[in-house]
Structures are given as structure tokens and as C-alpha cells.
């Protein structure tokens, strides 16, 4: 029974297309995140939602739009995909972002833009 599941696992698409990645967690956590890991393996926060409210919105092109229909789901929609968007996107959740505690990550979505 996967704790944080994201789909799809792999996504290959052409430049200019629009795509979505979905994430769901069954841990009852309050906070969910999207991270991007590029080819240099550096993990960077993109967005965070706490109980459906956006609390972190890093400097990310506005082609990226997160949506949280409820606290168990956080989706990421990307418009007009560019070559530089190729990366692994990880969804994560934590119990309460204001208290020390670790994250549980999904298995990642490997996005390749051609």
C-alpha cells in the first residue's frame, strides 16, 4: 500500500505540449510538496501546500501550476513544455511542516521533453 504515489512514472513529450503529474498520499499528512531534481541531482523545492493552502511558491516559471483539490492530493500542471523542464519531479508529504519531521517521497516522475 504505497504511502505517496505519483503518476505517471515516466513521461516523454514534445516541446510545447501541456502535461500533468498527479500525486496522492494516504498518510494523513497536512503538507505536500513538489520538488525538481535536475541532471546534477540537486533537489529544489517548487511548491508546498498545507491543508490545500499554497505556502511555498519558489521562483518557478508560471507555466507550472500546482493544484490541491484536498489535502491528500497535489497535482502539477505544466504548460508549453521546454527542453529545460526535463528532470525528475518528486512529490512528498510531511505531517506538519512547522515541526521537525521528515518527508515521505513518491517514487518520482521522470519527464523528458524532446
Partner 1 sequence: RKEVEQDPGPFNVPEGATVAFNCTYSNSASQSFFWYRQDCRKEPKLLMSVYSSGNEDGRFTAQLNRASQYISLLIRDSKLSDSATYLCVVKRTGGFKTIFGAGTRLFVKA
Is 103 a binding residue for partner 1 by CB under 8 A? The answer is: yes
Query: Can you read off the three cell numbers belonging to residue 112?
Result: 523528458
How many Å apart are CA 70 and CA 31, to the nearest integer?
Answer: 11
String of contacts with partner 1 for each residue 10-49, x by CB under 8 A: ---------------------x---x----xxxxxx--x-
Tell me the three state secondary structure of residue 84: helix
- Regarding 108 and contact with partner 1 (CB under 8 A), the answer is yes
Q: Does 60 bind partner 1 (CB under 8 A)?
A: no
Q: Which residues pair with 12 in a beta bridge?
A: 112
Instruction: For the CB of residue 14, give the shortest distance to partner 1 in the complex, in Å.
Output: 24
Q: In what order do the strands lie in the sheet with 73-78?
A: 4-7, 19-25, 73-78, 64-70
Tell me which residues touch partner 1 (CB under 8 A): 31, 35, 40-45, 48, 50, 55-56, 90, 97-98, 100-108
Amino acid at each position: 500500500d504505497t504511502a505517496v504515489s505519483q503518476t505517471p512514472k515516466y513521461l516523454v513529450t514534445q516541446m510545447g505540449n501541456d502535461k500533468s503529474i498527479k500525486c496522492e498520499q494516504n498518510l494523513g499528512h497536512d503538507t505536500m510538496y513538489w520538488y525538481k531534481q535536475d541532471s546534477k541531482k540537486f533537489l529544489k523545492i517548487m511548491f508546498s501546500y498545507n491543508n490545500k493552502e499554497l505556502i511555498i511558491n519558489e521562483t518557478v516559471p508560471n507555466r507550472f501550476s500546482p493544484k490541491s483539490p484536498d489535502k491528500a492530493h497535489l497535482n502539477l500542471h505544466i504548460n508549453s513544455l521546454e527542453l529545460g523542464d526535463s528532470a525528475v519531479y518528486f512529490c512528498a508529504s510531511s505531517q506538519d511542516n512547522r515541526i521537525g519531521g521528515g518527508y515521505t517521497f513518491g517514487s518520482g516522475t521522470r519527464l523528458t521533453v524532446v
